[in-house]
Chain A
Amino acid sequence: MKYFGLIWRNVWRKKIRTSLTILSVLVAFLLFALLNAVGQAMSSGGAMTGAARLVVIDKVSLINFLPISYQNKIAQVPGVAVVSHQSWFGGFYQDPKNQFPQFPVVPEEYLDLYPEFVLPDEQLQAWKKNRTGAIIGRDLAELHGLKVGDRIPIQSTIFTKKDGGRTWEFDIEGIFDTTDPKGGTALLLFRHDYFAETNTFGDGFVGWYTLRLAEGADPVEVANAIDEQFANSPNETETSTEAAFAASFAKQFGNIALIVTMILGAVFFTLLLVAGNTMSQSVRERIAELAVLKTLGFKDGTVLGIVLTESILIMAIGGLFGLGFGWLAAEAIGSAMAMFVPGGIVVSTDIVLLAIAMMIGAGVIAGIFPALKAMRLSIVDALARG
């Protein structure tokens, strides 16, 4: 620690250069934290153990529909407490940029399935009385300035109405909140019966089933029982956790893990070049000073340690700020995408520990050659060069 003052002042010897290097480290670790958090959220699959809800989708592809007749069969599987269905409506509000999830659901079943969503009883009753009624989450209401009593048009990109139009109008009968601090409410729920009777595909299908497990039920056993029941049928199923469901949703966009690895590989390769160059310049321009330190009695190992610590310190400053900003970005994106990633986008302890290890590793790699040069320099030659 007694060398810290010397190291700290050396780090800030060229303030602009160090700031720019730290900025590049910050961006690299921000991306590292965020992309890994997104990657984990999208591709973790979620452990069955401890799962409270399971999702049943078509085994071949998420975009395939399942027969509505499956609901009763799933409900009869031991360990299933509640089961209901949803479908991806794929609409937008006013502008294609305003996309958010809309699901046709059975009101009481859905709210029973998601007890974290809190809707005033009078609003639930109003929704049940109005076939074109819908409820929206508080996040969505605040985002678009919507309130109970509004009638909003949703343009579907998938479903056409029997009258030929694609604009579906809904009366907002309620606004719900969530008790889950990490859960988002930027979604619209409308009645499945209205959807089934109005769309041109007909009423015998749903997108997927979500079920809540009975207390003490083994998620793995329940999932296997459901999938075995529909084995060798035209619509075989795959039952998994909500996180795994989100993962299969995300996989439609590509191999997230590979994309994350490739981006981070390029970012860190560039980072090592930038930081390595900074450390090389820093050592080159103070050869005489390093020679003076050695003249005063600083040993080779101490000089090596000082230069390496400078390099690691630069990585640590930029890296920790990057992790911090990455965490904030993950929280923000996780909230906005809460419906797609039920577990949220979390910069986990694993990511933080890996990032810290990478800060130290990158610091050592960027600093090792300049540090060895400093360690090996001949005092007499360096002082003669002045």
Chain B
Amino acid sequence: MSEALANLTGVSRVYQKGKDRVEVLHELDLTIPNGDFLAIMGPSGSGKTTLLNLLGGLDKPSGGAVTVGGAELSSMSNSQLSTWRSTHVGFVFQFYNLLPVLTALRNVELPLLLTNFSAKERANRARIALDIVGLAERAKHLPSELSGGEEQRVAIARAIVSDPTLLLCDEPTGDLDRETAEEILKLLQILNREHGKTIVMVTHDPQAAEYATRILHVDKGKLESRSVA
């Protein structure tokens, strides 16, 4: 593996629920090398999604430090985190989270609205991203006109269109049948192997995790690792 893309050092995340103090992550240390395809598994409530949120700058740790691509996320303002996310991270969700009023092409183009690209350039890049995920011919379709697998491909295209180094996938196959799930996982593998994307994928599904190069188990806010590749 090459140098580290992300480092979590002594990261804790505590939520206050009423008078109760819930510690979701406990002094967690993790290094994610550049080009890694990491699957994170664990039971519900173990802190998987919280870990993903911290890596993506959607949440801030209660203690410790999160560094991604040399940027210390824990010390950034919300506005700085927004700018950072728009250029460094792509997100893929379990339920795709496409905007139903926009076509596939316009959904993919969304992150590029935050750039200075011209409308033509944005459309060109969105078409290329759709082509990578094999959906160029569905560019003008609304999400409601696509299958679940196609929607997830569009979501992946949206995640890669701004060419981020890190892809964060939260249960990307959780809403898909086995065959479609395998297609999505193979696509993620291609993005990892051929396009050099570092991928962190949260999943419940051991078969999905097998597509990763490394699997980490999270339980009660702590990590245990098992190498796959």
* B-binding residues in A (CB < 8 A): 2-3, 5-6, 9-10, 12-13, 288-289, 292-300, 379-380, 383-384, 386
Which residues from chain A contact B84 at a C-beta distance below 8 Å? Answer: 297
Q: Which of B85, B86, B97, B113 is A2 in contact with, Cβ under 8 Å?
A: B113
Closest residue on chain B to residue A293 by CB atoms: B110
Give the top 9 A-B pairs by smallest Cβ distance, nearest first. A297-B86, A9-B101, A297-B85, A299-B82, A292-B97, A296-B111, A379-B58, A297-B82, A297-B114
- Asked whether, in the complex, the Cβ of B119 is within 8 Å of the Cβ of A2, the reply is yes
Residues 70-103 of B contacting A (Cβ, < 8 Å): 78-79, 82-87, 91, 93, 95, 97, 99-102
Given A9-B102, A300-B79, A380-B58, decide whether A295 and B91 contact each other with a Cβ distance below 8 A.
yes
Excluding A13-B100, A386-B95, 20 further A-B contacts by CB distance (< 8 Å) are A6-B99, A6-B113, A9-B102, A10-B101, A13-B101, A288-B97, A292-B93, A294-B82, A295-B58, A296-B110, A296-B111, A297-B82, A297-B83, A297-B85, A297-B87, A299-B82, A300-B78, A300-B79, A383-B58, A383-B97
B114 in complex: contacting residue of A288, A289, A298, A380, CB < 8 Å: A298
B163 within 8 A of A: no
CB distance from B62 to the nearest CB of A (A): 13
A381 to chain B, nearest CB (A): 10
Q: Is B197 an interface residue (CB 8 A)?
A: no
A299: nearest chain-B partner, CB-CB: B82
With both beta carbons as reference points, the residue of chain A lying nearest to B114 in the complex is identified as: A297
Q: Give, as a whole number of angstroms, the nearest-CB distance from A292 to chain B.
A: 5
Q: Which of A6, A295, A298, A299 has the most CB of B within 10 A?
A: A295
Partner of A380, one of B59, B93, B101, B110: B59
Which residue from chain B places its CB closest to the CB of A290 in the assembled complex? Answer: B99
Return A8 CB to nearest CB of chain B, in Å.
Answer: 9
CB closest chain-A residue, reference B103: A9
Nearest Cβ on chain B to A250's Cβ, whole angstroms: 49
CB within 8 Å for A298 and B99 given contacts A2-B119, A3-B113, A380-B58? no
> What is the CA–CA distance of A384 and B97 in the complex, to the nearest angstrom?
12
B53 contacts across to A, CB distance below 8 A: 380
* Assembly CA distance A6 to B158 (angstroms): 15
Pair A296/B85 contact, Cβ less than 8 Å: yes
Closest Cβ of chain A to B114, distance in Å, is 5
Pairs across A and B, CB under 8 Å, 24 listed: A2-B113, A5-B106, A6-B102, A6-B110, A10-B101, A288-B97, A292-B93, A294-B82, A295-B56, A295-B58, A296-B85, A296-B91, A297-B83, A297-B86, A297-B87, A298-B86, A298-B114, A299-B82, A300-B78, A300-B79, A379-B58, A383-B58, A384-B49, A386-B95
Report Cα–Cα, A297/B113, bound state, in Å.
10
| A383 near B93: Cβ-Cβ < 8 Å | yes
Residues of B within 8 A of A6 (CB): 99, 102, 106, 110, 113
Q: Which of A288, A300, A380, A386 has the most CB of B within 10 A?
A: A380
Within B158-192, which residues are at the interface with A (CB < 8 Å)?
158
Taking CB atoms, residues of chain B closer than 8 Å to A12 are 101
Closest residue of chain B to A384 (Cβ to Cβ) is: B49
Complex Cα spacing A294 to B84, Å? 12
Given A9-B101, A289-B99, verify A296-B106 contact (CB < 8 Å).
Answer: no
- Distance in angstroms from A287 CB to nearest chain B CB is 11
Q: If A296-B85, A297-B82 touch, does A289 touch B59 (CB 8 Å cutoff)?
A: no
CB distance from B108 to the nearest CB of A (A): 11
A297 to B76, CA, bound (A): 14
- B117, chain A: closest CB distance, angstroms: 9
